[in-house]
Structures are given as structure tokens and as C-alpha cells.
């Protein structure tokens, strides 16, 4: 298959960008040149500006009212906004990149914007869909696709534009292991076909290392954004492997610190499920039947492919959604005076017994400041203000949120929001904690921190139910596994 | 979850495959003239003439009753309001405080109810079979509305399904955090606000993704799907135009015509 | 150490436009992609609110109506929020009209009691808010103006409903109804939209809009 475009040159000459809402320059004075056809892995600690740089190349940063710029950013010698269609970007969130309702239409969207004639559009659509190995009909609904399929759909949409450069901003952060592999393979196939320049930002670099020829590490220094390292993968990782691992990258050979094995044997059973079948909607069984015991001081890992029903099972055990059939019962030691079915408990009763941390932090933010967010649970329990203050300060300390105590929760970074939602669940000292994908989309540092925290809770006697497609999490927690969907 | 706005189901009958633009035009053509008068004759004749349209639309029975449920509730309620507070004329049957039920208000009430059905039923039935992408294509290519706005609106509409899922998750979160026992109204406001935040964050992300695919650029835009219009679409529109004409003629001939801006309205 | 290559320029963020520049500002007339999409998404979120309110308003309505015919107009506010909020966030000509219209179209497509005439309502109500924002040259966005825009939408709603739906009603009903919808528009749609926009700005969600930047300082 022939491609009709030439690979693009990407260049930054003393370029900087400051968002209108920030004091600090996101990128300042960076000098960088990427030759046509190169495949670059762009790394750097958070705050180094790598994502801003990528968005700058993509031409999506916005105009003069959204920020200031200095220096020049060039794609084939032109400004990125003048080179629309030369650069294609795939972003992190699968859901906000599907633009139209049907697969074929979505892939055709980029071509329509470039004014490609109709017949050629559909030719390009078909070859792009084949290139990414997306084996679905062109009139399939995009909402019905899995995360990995949606990201491949976005990639197909980019490929159909025949860009000279493909930029990927954490494309696999929100995917399960199968999805990660599929997307990586699709990118490899796309590059074989088009020979375009590639720049990819990712934390989990092991799948990308075989594909890239050059690794660039950015750092934010006082004098500006500096290229800390630039060379072949072996050179850079050899010289700076430990440093990169400390900044949150999963460097092969430098795994994040994992907590020690449990010091005690599991304690008493707190919740048991017998013949449990779960469903999202009445009558539509998603998974089951299960026989499960949730024990104090033990981590139970719920694993399986995305969509198999892991979350549904976890939420049913947590008393948030009703069981389709079978029984979920809390033993008297946990129920402590309430009925045995957690779903029948009032929401206040759940607070000290079973706490749940959902997958998306933004669904769980209730207050205007971080401090108030942590106080919501204790206030609902009608604890005295002094006690609330003590607990909140303790949690702010333990989870390193003290400097953010008066910030609006929505303004926190992804990792900070996750720590906040976990802290909020702990404010009422629950005996059982259910966590839905706690390390989803996080870098290695946050990963290690959260896993360490969960392990400590386990050792203190809390029953942990961890829903995760990440095998490493379950291994680190020495969790007993329940597999859903096989 | 496949949301109601984007699922494409194959439907039987001659109406479903018609262009979305034709269906929109048809619904408007039935509605607008009928709105000009409030009398039982025009409304009933129109409702009668609507029936073939309803039967040919290709909706399954269950779907029909679920989607039109809103109308079957709204029509009698609207009628009751008019019966109690409508313009008085003729014999007064019942009077209490400001309520006054008379011959006149009862006729107007009946007319209101039937009119809601005569306008609403074909509209619901036609709109259920409209695919938003087709409608957007029609509006941009044929009616020549500005392409960026139509496409932007279409892309934004996809958020509806996601937001419905978000609402469910928001409710679960409130239960998990201990605040779902009381204060339903306050909680609803809090959830609605959170929904706005989620919507706008997603919208901003979506806008970036669209810009990354060249949306909003300066050059001319092409269209992957052609918005077609054939004779059968014209036929649908003509039929839809004829229904209110016949209904109004009947009303004028029987003397029941009652202009909404006229003296007795 | 920074060096400027020859030919590079420093473009600074424009200061918040002063109302005295009026309609002449060029950036006022060009909608960005993010303006269109966020306006659409606000419309979608409001349409969801509409759909919930379509069901929810029946009970308060049946309670209010016997007290004073026409006073159920006080419940009209939620349907007017889309236009006012859209105008307040996007701050460009046509924003109020566009957002209210798109919300109405979605509401009609999903199915409601008013069918295609919802679109007419949306058009009229959106215009009501739009005209007020126009009078202030799209430059003043303080609470009194926003409430006035809500009132404008409410007034338009009252007149529209009276003509299309309550064509059989008497003078008392008409007056009470239109006054009620106007008040409801000012308070629920006007004040409500203003509070929502303030809350949204505090969360940082409006970073790409002037509405977000004027409330929070650079952090």
C-alpha cells in the first residue's frame, strides 16, 4: 500500500508556552529537532512540559487569549496551525475521541475536515481501518467498542488523514493489558504503512521500546525547559534509568517498590456471597454465580477482561447495587446491628463498614475544598468537630495532601485526585474497602504509593477488595484472586 | 450502553428510510398550521389523518407506547388546566375560588387535549426514527446551515449517553459517601452541578480531539455521506402539509375555526 | 538563559476586553472549535436537566395552579437555563440562541409533550436572552445583566406559551403566567446560571474561556 505523504520534520526553536491560567511557564525556551521518519519516545517528570510540547506540535493549544508563547514551533518549517492535516494526534481518553456515532463516519471525520473528495474518503477509511486491524463493520456503533478498540479507531481516524507525523499522548494509559498490546501493534502497523514521524509519551514504556529509535528526556530547570537526555533507548535508559524510574516511568529493570508480604494470616470473614450473580440492569446477568468470602486483613483481587463484570461484582459486594440472584450477607461482626444485606443499609451505615472508591475520581468529588471533601463522611456520622479536624489533618498528612487543603478538588492532578478519593473513603475508618481500578492511568510513583497504602491498610486489619486488570497490583498486594468472565 | 439518540435500528415501512430532513419538515408542517386554531374539529380531523402516518412509521408497539407516554399524560393535564381556568362562555357548571368550568372552557379543554395528540404523536413517531448524523448532514448540505456549528452540535450530542451513565455513577458515589439518605433535592442539585463539570471537561477534551483532526480549519469541508432527497421525501412532506390543510378547511366549513389570537382566545 | 531567534515574536494574552470596545472586537465574531463544542455540551447537559424536569414539574404544577391560575409559570425557569448559561460561558454573539436551540432540539428528538414546537420555544427563548446580552454589547457579564437575560428569556417563554399552548386562557391567567415566567427566568435561569458558571470557574473547567479566567487568578 503506498502512502501519499512524506514524513514531517518537527522543530522547536527556543519555544515556550504559558497558559493564561497559570503563573509558571509550562515549557520555556526548549530547543529540539526531530527528523522525518524518526520514532521518538518523549519522557520527563510531570511538570516538565512534554504534553504541552506535543499539543503545541499538534496545533491544538489555542490562540493568544489562551496563553502566551515565545520562540517558534515548526512542522516542516510552518506553524503547526497552518499545517493542519500534517500532524495527527491520539490522546489519552478513549471516550472523548469518538466524534461520530458510526465507525466509518468517525474515521472519515478527519478527511472531511481536510476537504478530501467523497470517493477517496471511503477508500482511505477502509485502508485505515484495515491498517489498525479493527475488525468491525463500518456501521457499527462507536459507543459499543471497547477502550482498546476506541483508541485504534482514533488512530484510524488519524491515519486516514495521511499525516506526516503521528503524535501519541499517553494513548494506552486508560486501557487493559490486551488493549495496550492491540494499540501498540496497530501503531507499528501504521508506521510500516506510512513511514510517518512518531512521537509518543507514555509511562509504561516496555511495549514502546522495541518500536522507537530515539528517547528524549525533558526536564524543567530554572533557566527553562532543558533536554536532559537524547539518544538511543539503550543509551538513555542505561545512563538515566534509575532517575526516570524515580520520576514515575516504568523502566524495565527498575520496577517500582512493592510492599512486603502480609505479616499476619487473614482474620474473620466480614462479608460472604453465596451463589451470587450480578447485573447492571435487572435481568441482564453480567457475571456469576460466585461464592466469595471477604476476610479482614486480606486482599481479594477481582480480575478479568474489561467489560467482564468486575466492577459490577465489586459494587454488589460493597452494597451499592442489588444482587441479581444469590446472597450477599454481612456477618454480624460487620453488620453490628444492621440487617445482613448491605444493600438494605442506609448510606450512613455503610460509612463505617464498607467504603468504596470508584473508578473515576470526578464522580466522587462532593465539596469545594479538599479539607471539606475529607470531612463529608465524618460529618454525615455527626462526629464532633474536634474529632473531624483531627482525622482530616491526619489524612492530609498521610496522603501528602496538606499543601492542597484549601484547593478545589477538581483542580488537582490525576494522581492527587486519586489519593483524595482514597483518603475520603478512609475518613470514616471502614472495616472493608472496595477499590475499583485504583491505579488506573497512573504513573509508577503514584502506583507505588497507592499500592503501599493499600497494603498497610490490609496489615492494619481492613478487608480489601481490589478490582484491577493490572496483574502487578494484585501480585504486590499478595491478593487472593477471583477471576470474572472466563 | 447504546443511547437512544444514536442507535440505528432497521425499521419496516415506507417512512423510516426517508431523509431526516423530510421527517423534521413533516413534523413542523403538521404542527405549525394546527397551532393557529384551537377547536375540536380541526384537531380531531388532523388526529384521524395522522393515524396512517403513525401506523406506517415502523415503530414496535412497546416502543410506541413508551415514547408517546409523555403525551398521554400531558394531554389530559393540559385539558384539565384549560377546563378549570379557560375563557368562560355558555353555561357555568362549577365555580370555586378562581376556578370556573363552563361550556366554553370544556370545549376549549377538549380541543387542547386532542390538539396535543394531533401534533405530538406524529412528531414523536417521526423523531424516533431520525438518526442525528443524517439530520446533521441534511441541515448542513441542503439547508446550508454553517457546517462547523452543525458538526459541533452533533459531536456534542454524543455526550448524552455518557452523561446518563455519569448520572448513575454520581448517585452510587453519594450512597457510598454517606449522603444519600436525606436531602434529596439538595443532592439532586449537587449531582446536576457535578454533571455540568463532567460535561464541560469532556467537551473541552472533545474539542481538542476534533481540532487535532483538522476541525475548524480554514479550507472548504467535504462530506463523506451525501444527504439525498428523493421523490418519496417530497411525498412525505406534501402529505404532512395536506393534513393540517384538510383539518383547517373542515374547521372553517363547520364554523368551528377559532383563531388563537382572536377575540375568544 | 534565553536567546531570541530573529523573527520570533512574543504574543501576550489579551487583557480582558473592556465593554467600551463594544462590538468591534474581532475575536468576538469568530467562534473557536471549543466554543461550539462546549456550547453543544452545555446544551446536552441542560437537555438532560429538561428531561428530568419534564417529569418532575408535574407535581409542583398541580399544587401551584389551584392557588392562582398562571402561577405555574414560576416553574418555567429550568427550561430557560440553557440559553443564559451558554451565553455566559461562551460570551459570543449567538451563544445564548445556539445553546437554547440545541437543547430544545435534543429535547424534541428524545421525545416530549410539545414535539416540534419545542424547537420554536427554544428559538424564541434563546432570542429573549440573546437580545439582552446584545443590548450590553456582549461586554457586561455581571449578575444583574445575567438576571435580566434570564428575565428576557422568561418573558419570551411566557408569550410563546400563551400563544401556542394556553390559547384558551383568560386575561388573569395570561398576566399571571407571563409575570411568573419572567420572574422564574430571572431567578432560576438568571441567578442559577450565574451561580453554576461561578462554580464551574472555581473547578477550573472553564480554563479555555474568559468566564473561567476572570474569576480565578493565575495559580
Question: Looking at beta carbons, which residues of chain C come within 8 Å of B124?
Answer: 111, 115
CA atoms A282, A285, A290, A293: torsion sign? negative
Residue in chain B closest to A124 (alpha carbons) equals: B224
Return the number of other C-beta atoms located less than 10 Å from residue B197's C-beta: 21
Q: Tell if the CB–CB gap between B213 and A99 is shorter than 8 Å.
A: yes
Q: Which of A155, A151, A163 is nearest to A58 (CA)?
A: A163
pLDDT at A393: 95
The model's pLDDT over A388-413, given as tens digits with 9 standing for 90+, comes to 999 999 999 999 999 999 999 999 98
CB A61 within 8 A of CB A102: no
Set of chain B residues whose Cβ sits within 8 Å of the Cβ of A58 = 212
B31:C116 CB<8 A: yes
How many B/C residue pairs have CB atoms within 8 Å? 189
**Min Cα separation B50/chain C (Å):** 14
Nearest to B197 among C115, C119, C203 (CB): C203
For residue C111, the chain B residues in CB contact (below 8 A) are: 67-68, 70, 124, 127-128
Yes or no, beta carbons of A95 and B161 under 8 Å apart: no
Distance (Å) from the alpha carbon of A413 to chain B's nearest alpha carbon:
14
pLDDT in tens, B47-56: 999 998 888 8
Task: Tell me the C-alpha distance between A478 and A260, whole Å.
Answer: 9
Cβ pair A155, A90 in contact under 8 A:
yes
For residue A215, which phi and psi values (nearest 5 degrees)? -120, 130
Closest Cβ–Cβ partner in B68, B120, B192 for C49: B192
B1 and A143 within 8 Å at the Cβ level: the answer is yes
For chain A, domain boundaries: 10-246, 269-483
Burial group, residue A476, by CB count within 10 angstroms (0-12, 13-18, 19+): buried
Q: What is the pLDDT of residue A185?
A: 95
A362 to chain B: which residues are within 8 Å by CB?
Answer: 194, 197-198, 201
B1-45 pLDDT, tens digit per residue, is 345 555 567 788 888 888 889 999 999 899 888 888 888 888 999
C219:A411 CB<8 A: yes
Q: Which residues of B touch A380 (CB under 8 A)?
A: 177-179
Contact state of A223 with C1 under an 8 Å Cβ cutoff: yes
Give the C-alpha separation, B233 to A7, whole Å: 47
| 37-96 of B, contacting C, C-beta below 8 A | 38, 67-68, 70-71, 73-75, 77-78, 81-82, 84-88
Q: Are C106 and B199 in contact (CB under 8 A)?
A: no
Residue A1 clears pLDDT 50, i.e. is over it: no
Whether the pLDDT of residue B256 is over 70: the answer is yes
Q: What is the mean pLDDT of chain A?
A: 91
pLDDT at A294 over 70: yes
Verify whether the Cβ–Cβ distance A21 to C210 is below 8 Å: no
pTM: 0.90
Element (H, E) at A270: strand A269-279
- Closest C-alpha among B122, B123, B110 to residue B44: B110
The string of DSSP letters for B210-257 reads: HHHTTTT-SSPP--SS-----HHHHHHHHHHHHHHHHHHHHHHHHT--
Other Cβ atoms less than 10 A from the Cβ of A483: the count is 13
The structural domains of chain C, ordered by start, are 32-213 (1.10.1760)
Q: What is the pLDDT of residue B16?
A: 82
Which of these, A352, A271, A358, A282, lies nearest to A322 by C-alpha position? A282
Residue range B99-122, pLDDT digits in tens = 778 888 888 888 888 988 998 899
Which A residues 126-165 touch B at CB under 8 Å?
A: 139, 141, 143-144, 154, 157-158, 161
**What letter would DSSP give residue A141?**
B
Whether the CB of B162 is below 8 Å from some CB of chain A: the reply is yes
Confidence class for position B136, pLDDT limits 50, 70, 90: very high
Task: Give C8's pLDDT tier (boundaries 50, 70, 90).
Answer: very low
Half-sphere exposure of A39 (CA within 13 A, CB side): 15
Distance between CA atoms of residues C60 and C41, nearest Å: 28
Q: Which residues pair with A19 in a beta bridge?
A: A67
The pLDDT of residue A209: 93
φ, ψ (nearest 5 deg) of residue C203: -80, -5
Q: Is the pLDDT of residue A12 over 60?
A: yes
Q: Do B85 and C65 touch (CB under 8 A)?
A: yes
Contact (Cβ atoms closer than 8 angstroms) between residue A205 and residue A250: yes
Show the cell assigned to A210: 522495541
A411 shares contact with chain C (CB less than 8 Å) = yes
In the complex, which subunits touch A with 3 or more CB pairs below 8 angstroms?
B, C
* Closest-CA distance of chain A to residue C15, Å: 8
Beginning with the edge strand found earlier in the chain, give each strand of the sheet holding A325-330 in spatial order: A285-295, A269-279, A325-330
Q: Hey, what's the cell of C70?
A: 398562571
Give me the mean pLDDT over the A422-431 stretch.
94
Q: Do B178 and A139 touch (CB under 8 A)?
A: no
Strands laid side by side in the A480-483 sheet = A354-357, A432-436, A463-467, A299-303, A480-483
Query: What's the confidence (pLDDT) of residue A2?
Result: 43
Please tell me the distance in Å from B86's CA to the nearest CA on chain A: 45
Q: Is A293 exposed, middle or buried (0-12, 13-18, 19+ CB in 10 A)?
A: middle
Q: What is the pLDDT of residue C157?
A: 95
pLDDT at residue number A74: 93
- Please name the residue of chain A whose CA is at the shortest distance from the CA of residue C213: A21
Cα separation, B208 vs B201, in Å, equals: 11
- In tens, the pLDDT along C140-177 reads 999 999 999 999 999 999 999 888 877 767 788 889 99
Interchain CB distance below 8 Å, B124 and C43: no
| Per-residue pLDDT tens over the stretch A17-42 | 998 888 888 999 899 999 999 999 99
Q: Do C13 and A68 touch (CB under 8 A)?
A: yes
Candidates B45, B117, B121, B47; CA nearest to B78 is B117
Q: Please tell me the predicted confidence (pLDDT) of residue B96.
A: 75
d(CA A43, CA A122): 36
Interface pTM, i.e. ipTM:
0.91
Residue C10 forms contact with A (CB below 8 Å): yes
Dihedral sign from CA coordinates of A215, A220, A226, A228: negative
pLDDT digit string, tens, across residues A345-373: 999 999 999 999 999 999 999 999 999 99
Strands (E), chain C: none
| C-alpha span between A155 and A166 (Å, rounded) | 9
Placement of cell 444492621 in the chain: A338
Question: Which one of 3.30.450.20, 1.10.8.870, 3.40.50.300, 3.40.190.10 gives the CATH number of domain A269-483?
Answer: 3.40.50.300
Name the pLDDT band for B201 (thresholds 50, 70, 90). Answer: very high
Q: Return phi, psi of residue A95, to 5°.
A: -70, -30
Query: Cell 427554544 identifies what position?
Result: C122
Is residue C16 very low, low, confident or very high in pLDDT (cuts 50, 70, 90)?
very low
Cβ–Cβ below 8 Å for A116 and B162: no
A55/B contact by beta carbon, under 8 A:
yes
Q: Pick the more confident residue, A212 or C6.
A: A212
- Is it the case that residue A196 has pLDDT exceeding 90? yes
Reduced 3-state DSSP string for chain A: CCCCCCCCCEEEEEEEEEECCCCCCCEEEEEEEECCCCEEEEEECCCCCHHHHHHHHHCCCCCCCCEEEEEEEEECCECHHHCECCEEEECCCCHHHCCCCEHHHHHHHHHHHHCCCHHHHHHHHHHHHHHCCCCCCCCCEHHHCCHHHHHHHHHHHHHCCCCCEEEEECCCCCCCHHHHHHHHHHHHHHHHHHCCEEEEECCECCCCCCCCCEEEEEEEECCEEEEEEEECHHHHHHHHHHHHHHCCCEECCECCCCCCCCCCCCCCEEEEEEEEEEECCCCCEEEEEEEEEEECCCEEEEECCCCCCHHHHHHHHCCCCCCCEEEEEECHHHHCCCCCCHHHCCHHHHHCCEEEECCCHHHHCCCCCHHHHHHHHHHHCCCCHHHHHHHHHHHHHHCCCHHHCCCCHHHCCHHHHHHHHHHHHHCCCCCEEEEECCCCCCCHHHHHHHHHHHHHHHHCCCEEEEECCCHHHHHHCCCEEEECCC
Q: H-type helices in A247-384, by residue range?
A: 310-317, 332-335, 347-351, 370-380
Check residue C138 and give its pLDDT: 92
DSSP state letter for C64 = H
If you measure CA to CA, which chain A residue comes closest to B3? A143
Interface of B with A in 178-207 (CB under 8 A): 178-181, 190, 194, 197-198, 201-202, 205-206
Q: Which residue has the higher pLDDT, B15 or B202?
A: B202
Rounded to an integer, the average pLDDT of A336-346 is 91
Give the closest of C102, C115, C165 to B124, CB-based.
C115
| Among the listed residues A253, A429, A410, A242, the one whose alpha carbon sits nearest the alpha carbon of residue A350 | A429
- Mean pLDDT calculated for residue range B137-160: 92
Report the distance separating Cα B183 and Cα A229, nearest Å. 56
Asked if B172 has any chain C CB less than 8 Å from its own CB, the reply is no
Per CB-CB distance under 8 Å, the chain B contacts of C48 are: 160, 163-164, 167, 195
Q: What pLDDT score was predicted for residue C168?
A: 67
Which of C2, C10, C27 is the closest to A29 by Cβ? Answer: C2
Higher per-residue confidence, C61 vs A339 = A339
Cis status, amide bond into A289, omega within 30 of 0: yes
Classify residue A139 as exposed, middle or buried by CB count within 10 Å of its CB (0-12, 13-18, 19+): exposed
Nearest CB partner across the interface for A410, out of C8, C10, C205 = C205
- Cα dihedral sign, B35-B36-B38-B41: negative
Say whether pLDDT at C4 is over 80: no
In which element (H, E) is residue A15 found? strand A10-19
**Window 105-124 of A, Cβ < 8 Å to B:** 105, 108-118, 121-122
**In chain A, what residues touch B171 (CB-CB under 8 Å)?**
none
Q: What is the C-alpha separation between B156 and C44, in angstroms, rounded?
A: 7
B211: chain A residues, CB-CB within 8 Å: 59-60
Span B203-221, average pLDDT: 89
- Measure in Å the smallest separation between the Cα of B69 and chain A Cα atoms: 22
What H or E segment, with its residue span, contains residue A482?
A: strand A480-483
pLDDT at position A4 is 61
Is A430's Cβ below 8 Å from some Cβ in B?
no
Determine the topology of domain A10-246 in CATH: Rossmann fold (3.40.50)
Provide, as residue numbers in chain B, all residues whose Cβ is less than 8 Å from the Cβ of C109.
5, 127, 130, 132
| Same-fold call for A10-246 versus A269-483 | yes
Tell me which residue has cell 494484585.
A474
Report the pLDDT averaged over residues B134-147: 92
Answer whether A244's CB lies under 8 Å from A44's CB: no
pLDDT at residue C19 in the model: 47
Q: Which chains touch B (3 or more CB pairs under 8 A)?
A: A, C
Q: Distance (Å) from the C-alpha of residue B233 to the closest C-alpha of chain A?
A: 23
Confirm if A72 and C5 have CB atoms less than 8 A apart: yes
Amino acid at each position: 500500500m503506498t502512502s501519499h505523504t512524506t514524513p514531517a520534520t518537527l522543530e522547536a526553536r527556543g519555544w515556550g508556552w504559558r497558559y493564561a491560567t497559570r503563573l509558571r511557564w509550562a515549557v520555556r525556551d526548549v530547543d529540539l529537532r526531530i527528523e522525518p521518519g524518526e520514532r521518538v519516545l518523549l519522557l520527563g517528570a510531570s511538570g516538565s512540559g512534554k504534553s504541552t510540547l506535543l499539543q503545541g506540535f499538534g496545533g491544538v493549544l489555542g490562540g493568544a487569549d489562551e496563553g502566551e508563547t515565545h520562540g517558534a514551533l515548526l512542522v516542516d518549517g510552518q506553524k503547526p496551525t497552518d499545517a493542519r492535516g500534517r500532524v495527527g494526534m491520539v490522546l489519552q481518553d478513549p471516550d472523548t475521541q469518538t466524534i461520530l456515532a458510526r465507525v466509518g463516519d468517525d474515521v472519515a471525520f478527519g478527511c472531511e475536515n481536510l476537504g478530501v473528495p467523497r470517493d477517496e474518503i471511503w477508500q482511505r477509511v477502509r485502508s485505515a481501518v484495515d491498517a489498525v486491524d479493527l475488525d468491525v463493520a463500518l456501521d457499527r456503533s462507536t459507543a459499543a467498542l471497547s477502550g482498546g478498540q476506541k483508541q485504534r479507531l482514533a488512530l484510524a481516524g488519524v491515519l486516514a488523514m495521511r499525516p506526516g507525523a503521528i503524535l501519541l499522548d499517553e494513548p494506552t494509559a486508560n486501557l487493559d493489558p490486551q488493549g495496550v498490546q492491540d494499540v501498540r501493534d496497530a501503531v507499528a502497523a501504521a508506521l510500516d504503512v506510512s513511514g510517518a514521524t512518531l512521537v509518543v509519551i507514555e509511562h509504561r514504556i516496555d511495549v514502546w521500546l522495541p518500536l522507537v529509535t530515539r528517547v528524549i528526556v525533558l526536564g524543567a530547570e530554572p533557566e527553562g525547559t532543558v533536554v536532559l537526555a537524547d539518544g538511543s533507548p539503550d543509551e538513555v535508559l542505561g545512563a538515566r534509568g534509575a532517575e526516570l524510574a524515580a520520576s514515575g516511568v516504568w523502566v524495565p529493570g527498575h520496577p517500582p517498590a512493592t510492599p512486603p508480604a502480609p505479616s499476619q494470616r487473614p482474620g474473620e470473614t466480614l462479608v460472604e456471597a453465596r451463589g451470587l450473580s450480578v447485573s447492571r440492569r435487572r435481568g441482564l446477568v453480567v457475571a456469576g454465580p460466585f461464592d466469595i468470602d471477604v476476610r479482614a486483613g486480606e486482599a481479594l483481587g477481582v480480575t478479568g477482561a474489561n467489560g467482564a463484570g468486575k466492577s459490577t461484582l465489586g459494587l454488589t459486594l460493597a452494597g451499592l447495587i442489588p444482587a441479581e440472584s444469590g446472597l450477599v450477607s454481612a456477618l454480624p461482626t460487620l453488620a453490628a446491628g444492621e440487617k445482613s444485606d448491605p444493600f438494605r443499609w442506609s448510606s450512613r451505615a455503610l460509612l463505617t463498614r464498607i467504603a468504596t472508591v470508584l473508578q473515576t475520581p470526578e464522580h466522587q468529588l462532593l465539596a469545594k475544598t479538599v479539607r471539606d471533601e475529607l470531612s463529608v463522611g465524618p460529618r454525615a456520622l455527626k462526629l464532633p468537630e474536634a474529632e473531624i479536624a483531627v482525622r482530616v489533618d491526619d489524612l492530609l498528612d498521610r496522603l501528602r495532601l496538606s499543601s492542597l487543603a484549601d484547593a478545589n478538588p477538581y483542580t488537582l492532578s490525576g494522581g492527587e485526585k486519586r489519593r483524595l478519593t482514597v483518603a475520603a473513603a478512609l475518613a470514616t475508618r471502614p472495616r472493608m474497602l472496595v477499590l475499583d481500578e485504583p491505579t488506573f492511568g497512573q504513573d509508577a510513583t503514584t502506583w507505588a504509593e497507592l499500592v503501599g497504602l493499600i497494603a498497610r491498610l490490609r496489615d492494619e486489619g481492613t478487608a480489601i477488595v481490589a478490582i484491577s486488570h493490572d496483574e502487578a497490583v494484585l501480585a504486590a498486594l499478595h491478593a487472593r484472586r477471583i477471576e470474572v468472565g472466563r | 450502553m447504546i443511547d437512544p439518540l444514536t442507535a440505528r435500528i432497521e425499521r419496516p415501512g415506507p417512512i423510516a428510510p426517508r431523509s431526516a430532513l423530510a421527517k423534521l419538515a413533516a413534523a413542523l408542517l403538521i404542527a405549525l398550521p394546527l397551532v393557529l386554531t384551537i377547536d375540536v374539529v380541526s384537531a380531531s380531523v388532523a388526529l384521524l389523518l395522522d393515524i396512517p402516518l403513525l401506523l406506517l412509521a415502523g415503530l414496535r408497539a412497546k416502543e410506541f407506547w413508551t415514547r408517546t407516554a409523555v403525551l398521554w399524560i400531558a394531554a389530559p393535564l393540559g385539558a384539565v388546566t384549560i377546563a378549570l381556568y379557560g375563557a368562560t362562555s355558555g353555561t357555568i357548571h362549577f365555580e370555586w375560588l378562581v376556578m370556573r368550568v363552563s361550556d366554553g372552557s370544556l370545549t376549549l379543554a377538549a380541543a387542547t387535549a386532542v390538539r396535543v395528540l394531533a401534533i405530538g404523536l406524529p412528531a414523536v413517531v417521526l423523531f424516533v426514527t431520525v438518526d442525528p448524523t443524517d439530520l446533521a448532514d441534511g441541515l448542513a448540505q441542503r439547508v446550508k446551515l454553517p457546517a462547523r456549528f452543525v458538526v459541533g452540535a452533533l459531536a456534542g450530542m454524543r455526550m448524552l449517553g455518557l452523561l446518563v451513565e455519569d448520572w448513575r455513577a454520581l448517585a452510587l458515589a453519594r450512597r457510598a459517601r454517606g449522603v444519600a439518605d436525606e436531602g434529596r433535592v439538595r443532592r439532586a442539585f449537587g449531582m446536576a452541578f457535578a454533571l455540568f463539570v463532567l460535561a464541560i471537561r469532556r467537551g473541552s477534551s472533545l474539542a481538542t480531539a476534533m481540532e487535532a483532526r483538522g476541525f475548524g480549519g480554514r479550507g472548504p469541508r467535504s462530506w463523506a455521506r451525501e444527504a439525498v432527497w428523493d421523490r418519496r421525501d417530497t411525498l412525505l412532506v406534501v402529505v404532512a402539509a395536506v393534513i393540517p390543510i384538510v383539518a383547517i378547511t373542515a374547521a372553517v366549513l363547520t364554523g368551528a375555526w377559532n383563531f388563537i389570537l382572536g377575540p375568544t382566545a | 538563559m534565553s536567546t531570541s531567534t530573529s523573527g520570533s515574536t512574543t504574543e501576550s494574552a489579551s487583557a480582558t476586553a473592556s465593554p467600551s470596545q463594544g462590538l468591534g472586537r474581532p475575536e468576538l465574531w469568530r467562534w473557536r472549535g471549543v466554543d461550539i463544542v462546549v456550547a453543544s455540551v452545555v446544551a446536552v447537559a441542560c437537555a438532560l436537566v429538561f428531561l428530568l424536569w419534564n417529569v418532575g414539574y408535574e407535581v409542583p404544577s398541580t399544587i401551584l395552579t389551584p392557588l392562582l391560575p398562571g402561577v405555574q409559570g414560576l416553574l418555567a425557569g429550568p427550561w430557560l437555563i440553557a440559553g443564559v448559561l451558554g451565553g455566559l460561558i461562551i460570551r459570543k454573539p449567538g451563544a445564548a440562541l445556539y445553546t437554547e436551540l440545541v437543547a430544545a432540539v435534543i429535547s424534541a428528538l428524545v421525545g416530549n409533550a410539545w414535539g416540534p414546537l419545542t424547537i420554536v420555544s427554544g428559538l424564541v427563548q434563546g432570542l429573549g436572552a440573546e437580545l439582552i446580552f446584545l443590548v450590553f454589547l456582549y461586554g457586561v457579564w455581571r449578575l444583574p445583566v445575567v438576571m435580566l437575560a434570564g428575565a428576557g428569556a422568561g418573558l419570551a417563554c411566557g408569550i410563546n406559551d400563551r400563544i401556542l399552548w394556553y390559547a384558551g386562557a383568560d386575561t388573569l391567567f395570561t398576566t399571571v403566567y407571563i409575570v411568573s415566567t419572567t420572574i422564574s427566568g430571572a431567578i432560576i435561569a438568571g441567578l442559577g446560571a450565574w451561580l453554576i458558571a461561578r462554580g464551574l470557574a472555581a473547578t477550573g473547567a472553564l480554563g479555555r474561556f474568559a468566564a473561567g479566567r476572570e474569576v480565578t487568578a493565575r495559580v
